[in-house]
Structure 1
Amino acid sequence: MDAVGRTTTQTMHAVAAEPLHQGFFTHAQVAPDDIAVIGPTVRWTYGQLRDQALSVSGALAVAGVRVGDRVAVVGPTGLDTVIATLAILAAGGVCVPIDTVEPAEPVLEHAGVRMALFTGDGPPNWLPALTVSEALRIGARTCDVTPVRSAPADPAFLGSIDETGYAVVTHAAAHDAVMELSVRLGVTGDDRIGAFAATGAAAPILMMLMALTAGAAVVVADDAPRRNLERGMNGFALAVRHRDAVAALDTAMPS
């Protein structure tokens, strides 16, 4: 291994000691005006996204969520999903992504979820739960919320959930996967990444955190792909830079 390779490997191992969400919050501190999220009607900066995520994190604390509690994200993917995921990680919680194609209640019970954050406009159909909009209103009244600095061995999210069980992915394993994806795809701060283009419970989280760790922008769409897969995905493809993301995820997915 040459000197450059050794330096890159050493840097990746050093950074892997950080919590999965630390890269985003670091970038939001040093470059708050960079664009973090692009959607059909919004363009949010890193600073704006940080403020929203910390507000929801504060609301989770008010609701009784503590470090290590499992919090589900239920509903259509989009801007609320980005906010909710960052908020759960910032609160020291374990993110449990729920595929809304299947009924959520049995999965929520099976996974030992403490509470749920519902995205979109629909009211929660499981308790205890909040919509992201409600959490933002509650969190607006909190102050001095700072991200929890989770340890490498602490759980970050559940990688898969089905009738046979789930995989608990640690911050270290997830961060290693994010760094591997970033290097493999050559992601830079100028890129726009469609974080919800890949399937699987872990894939959207890894793609989103890869983009936000690199200082890139996450492109979000509504839930049209679930209603009309071909039309929705064709429209979504026009908004994002083409990447061989699924192939990269096959080798970078933490086990």
Structure 2
Amino acid sequence: MSRLERMVSSQAAETPGSVAVVSSDERLTYLELEERSNRLAQALRAHGFRPGERVALLSPKSARTITYVLGVLKAGGVCVPMDTASPVERLLMIVRRIGPCWLLADDVGTDLLPGLLDKVASEVVTGLCLPGGESAGPAHRPVVDAAAVASASPAPLDPGADDSALAYILFTSGSSGEPKGVSLTHRSIAHFVRWANGHFGMSSDDRVACHLQLHFDFTLWDVYGALSCGAGLHLVPPAAGLLPSTLADFLRDSRITHWNTVPSVLSAMARYDVLAARPLPDLRRVVWGGEVFPPHDALHWRRRLPQARLTGVYGTTETAIASTYHTLDAAPSEDEPLPIGVVIPGESVTIVDKDLTPLPQGAVGEIVIGGAGVGPGYWNDPERTASAFVEFPPGSGHRAYRTGDLGSQDEHGVFHFHGRADRQVKVNGYRIELDEIMTALNALPGVAAGVTVAVPDETGRPRICAAYSLTPGTALTPVELQEALSRALPSYMLPAAWAEVDPMPVSPNGKIDIRALQGRFAAREGAVSHDG
């Protein structure tokens, strides 16, 4: 049984009265979660929804949204969580990419509907689901509203037993200028969740913090890890995550025992030493992933949480959350980067050269991941899928994913991360293609040339910087450019510094000199900062 919704339903049958999901305004038991999601699934199917259809979820993280996700899966659908804080133009790209599809909207997501529906044809959005409100959709689209959900049967549906079916499509930054949709199956997600729950000993005694947004792949473990073992899933409210101190207050007041997060959050909390005044005696496990964790910050957490198990995981969205792990068994050295660890059972990690030939121990090459976590590829993008998902070893019939990450393996079998082979960076756990930002920048009226680079900040983390030149007669300030770019890109992709550079530096081969621009921003020559 590797379908995600069945894992949750099985637990609901065992502990129906236990608390399943806790948000700032609602608390659901496993029975309530089960019946509400069943009603949504029944209502969707009654209005013509078919298994395999995609559902774009325009609903912020809440207890209700968790029921929506499960309801979509129970109807046999594919969940496509959307960032409701993203510009409408970016959301439109995603909707068009996954169409024909349904849109499910609640809370602030409902406010986005007019701007989306006005710009897409009925052949793209074939149905609407408004489980928190009244029907207000066009007559030519079926609409599932709150009344339809409330009147539906709470009996379970059978979506089938095919765990190779798609469960999620998660969109990440794309180098072509458009976000790319990573397809994930029930089986690949369930493989990681089962290993992780067993390895970390998660149980019904746990209180799991769901800190990140639902379009971030780490939350798949939060949701299905907690709800498949009888734990309570505690949703961190947006306001609580704004400051290191308020986040620590939430973890303490909710008596969180298990917390998955990203290193940038841990580093911010270490910088202000918030645990000095807010000890977290209940916190037993902290797991981080998505970016490099500076060893001096890891040492801080080791000292502040001597009772806790601290673990870093490494992986990609394309390979279902994580493929390696490393637990801090002792105080780490401040002078050596943390390893990404050893391979999770059922996965494979190989260091290869450009021809996919395995390299010896100690050699640096590209990290290739195979095994149970490898997904089908990118939705509706066969060319990019064929480039990144390859037969490996050649002639074996097995698929693997070329990560583009550089790594090595030492004599103990432990893997180490050595950066990227391309122009992809990780900022606050988000995977960002610098070329996607550059494409959006060059599309702005008045911009003659725009180039994006990454420069390490004082902590060693990448800082996105934009150099630009303007067309003759144009007068645009960095503030105006930032504002214009914010209408095309989410906030986490916006440059932290700007500089007008005219002419652009050119290398001997006639291309823009990226290193020269990086040096200029590192020296802060003429740069205008937009940090914070």
Length-normalised TM-score, structure 1: 0.81
In 2, distance between residues paired with 1:159 and 1:232? 29
Among 31, 53, 64, the residue aligned to 1:80: 64
Aligned to 2:20: 36
The one-letter code matched in structure 1 to 2:3 is: P
Higher fraction of helix? 1
Q: Is the 8 A contact 1:72 1:97 kept in 2?
A: yes
The one-letter code matched in structure 1 to 2:77 is: G
Assess, with a 3 A threshold, how the Cα gap between structure 1 residues 107 and 90 changes in structure 2: closer, same or farther: same
Q: Is the 8 A contact 2:27 2:63 kept in 1?
A: no
Assess, with a 3 A threshold, how the Cα gap between structure 1 residues 211 and 221 changes in structure 2: closer, same or farther: same
1:209 counterpart = 2:224: yes
* Cα deviation, residue 232, structure 1: 5.4
SS in 1 for 2:152: coil
Deviations 1:167-214 (A, max 9, x none): 211111011011122123321011111124378532222320111011
In 1, distance between residues paired with 2:286 and 2:158? 32
Among 234, 247, 251, the residue aligned to 1:233: 247
Aligned to 1:106: 93
Among 71, 84, 104, the residue aligned to 1:117: 104
Within 5 A, what are the aligned runs for 1:168-207? 168-197=183-212, 201-207=216-222
Structure with the greater alpha carbon radius of gyration: 2
1:153 counterpart = 2:153: no
Aligned to 1:140: 150
In 2, distance between residues paired with 1:141 and 1:57? 12
* Cα deviation, residue 67, structure 1: 0.3
Q: Is the 8 A contact 1:68 1:92 kept in 2?
A: yes
Within 5 A, what are the aligned runs for 1:61-100? 61-100=45-84
Q: Is the 8 A contact 1:19 1:149 kept in 2?
A: no
Q: Is the 8 A contact 1:120 1:131 kept in 2?
A: no
Aligned to 2:286: 244
Q: Is the 8 A contact 1:117 1:131 kept in 2?
A: yes
In 1, distance between residues paired with 2:165 and 2:240? 33
The one-letter code matched in structure 2 to 1:25 is: S
Q: Is the 8 A contact 1:39 1:220 kept in 2?
A: yes
In 2, distance between residues paired with 1:106 and 1:66? 23
Q: Is the 8 A contact 2:93 2:179 kept in 1?
A: no
In 2, distance between residues paired with 1:174 and 1:194? 19
Aligned to 1:4: none
In 2, distance between residues paired with 1:211 and 1:49? 13
The higher relative CO (CA closer than 8 Å, separation ≥ 6) is in: 1
SS in 2 for 1:18: coil
| CA-atom RMSD in angstroms | 2.5
Aligned to 1:5: none
Structure 1, 55-64 or 115-124: larger mean CA deviation: 115-124
Count of residue pairs brought into register by the alignment: 238
The one-letter code matched in structure 1 to 2:247 is: M
Higher fraction of strand? 2
In 2, distance between residues paired with 1:237 and 1:87? 29
The one-letter code matched in structure 1 to 2:202 is: V
Structure 1, 66-75 or 105-114: larger mean CA deviation: 105-114
In 1, distance between residues paired with 2:63 and 2:313? 22
Q: Is the 8 A contact 1:71 1:113 kept in 2?
A: no
Please, which runs of 5 or more residues in structure 1 have no aligned partner? 1-16
Aligned to 2:366: none
Length-normalised TM-score, structure 2: 0.41
* Superposed structure 1 runs of 4+ greater than 6 Å apart: none
The one-letter code matched in structure 2 to 1:98 is: M
In 2, distance between residues paired with 1:216 and 1:78? 17
In 1, distance between residues paired with 2:245 and 2:104? 28
The one-letter code matched in structure 1 to 2:222 is: M
The one-letter code matched in structure 1 to 2:68 is: A
Assess, with a 3 A threshold, how the Cα gap between structure 1 residues 229 and 96 changes in structure 2: closer, same or farther: farther
Assess, with a 3 A threshold, how the Cα gap between structure 1 residues 193 and 136 changes in structure 2: closer, same or farther: farther
Assess, with a 3 A threshold, how the Cα gap between structure 1 residues 73 and 113 changes in structure 2: closer, same or farther: farther
The one-letter code matched in structure 2 to 1:211 is: A
Q: Is the 8 A contact 1:80 1:132 kept in 2?
A: no
Q: Is the 8 A contact 2:209 2:233 kept in 1?
A: yes
Q: Is the 8 A contact 2:51 2:77 kept in 1?
A: yes
Q: Is the 8 A contact 1:77 1:196 kept in 2?
A: no
